[in-house]
Structure 1
Amino acid sequence: MDEKTVLHSGLFLITCLLALTIASLATEDWKHDEEMSVGLWEICDKIECSSHSQSGFEVTGLLEAVRALLIISVIFQVISWLALFRNLNEPSLSQRLTTFCLAIAGCCTGLAMIIFTIGFQWKSPSDYGFSYILGWFSPILSYGVATFLTYYLRLHIRQNYEAM
């Protein structure tokens, strides 16, 4: 694989990562039972959705921490996408910035998922929803993309060095 193909593949994978994280952050199906579904921002019953404060659900520091960590993760993912896009036109040290930002984004998302899993034990039996599952795919994909980019770009640098 040449360097441009690796960079284009990395941009595609980071775009998928951003879509997963934003979908997880924005949708309200983190936990659900037969009567309602709970998200980071809203609680929905079969008829309508309302914010946590309107529905009488107490917004704790844990929920705010999950929200904040996911938003920070999205910011680092955008930075990594921009750094990799910049690398398409002029190769630079932005490869390291990209992988560093992806690692930080993966840590933030993973920590947010752990906080949600441990901190929110509902009184009634409920299941985890698709937003929660998407949230767990995000740190896995983040570390996978960082590893992919590091391996192939280092391999390309080594091949250029040996050709000299």
Structure 2
Amino acid sequence: MPPKDSWASSAARRRNMQAIRSRDTRPEKLIRSLVHAKGLRYRVAAKPLPGLRRTADMVFRPAKVAVFIDGCYWHGCPAHYVPPKTNPGYWSEKVARNMARDRDTNNQLTAAGWTVLRFWEHESPLACADEISLVLSRLSRSGNN
């Protein structure tokens, strides 16, 4: 039985959900490795803006680029999100809140002059690394760093 007032539907579900990583996921590590191999340096799990209580997966501070690698389930991927069968009200609402927070984060960073790049966990890590490199190169050429 889960602890009193727990969001989990069972003790086993609670253990399962607590074991899910919020950073250093396999897609993040693959993309970071490829970006690093291109000679690009970044901060990991950093706050792009000091007053914003949100962290990006990769932050290129001088260029003002924030990179997010979103999980298909947690961020509502249009291609792969499957609504949960257990406790659907809670989890669907949680994913909707995550999506709203993602939009708010994009808006706040963009308003502060940042470039926001979002990738889904199912996207090719090589394609993601190439896109990051391309954006940074464009910003560098235009003098925005």
TM-score range, shorter chain: 0.3 to 0.5
Question: RCO higher in 1 or 2 (8 Å CA, sep ≥ 6)?
Answer: 1
Q: With the length of structure 1 as denominator, give the TM-score of the two structures.
A: 0.32
Higher radius of gyration, 1 or 2: 1
Which structure shows the bigger proportion of residues in helix conformation?
Answer: 1
Q: With the length of structure 2 as denominator, give the TM-score of the two structures.
A: 0.35
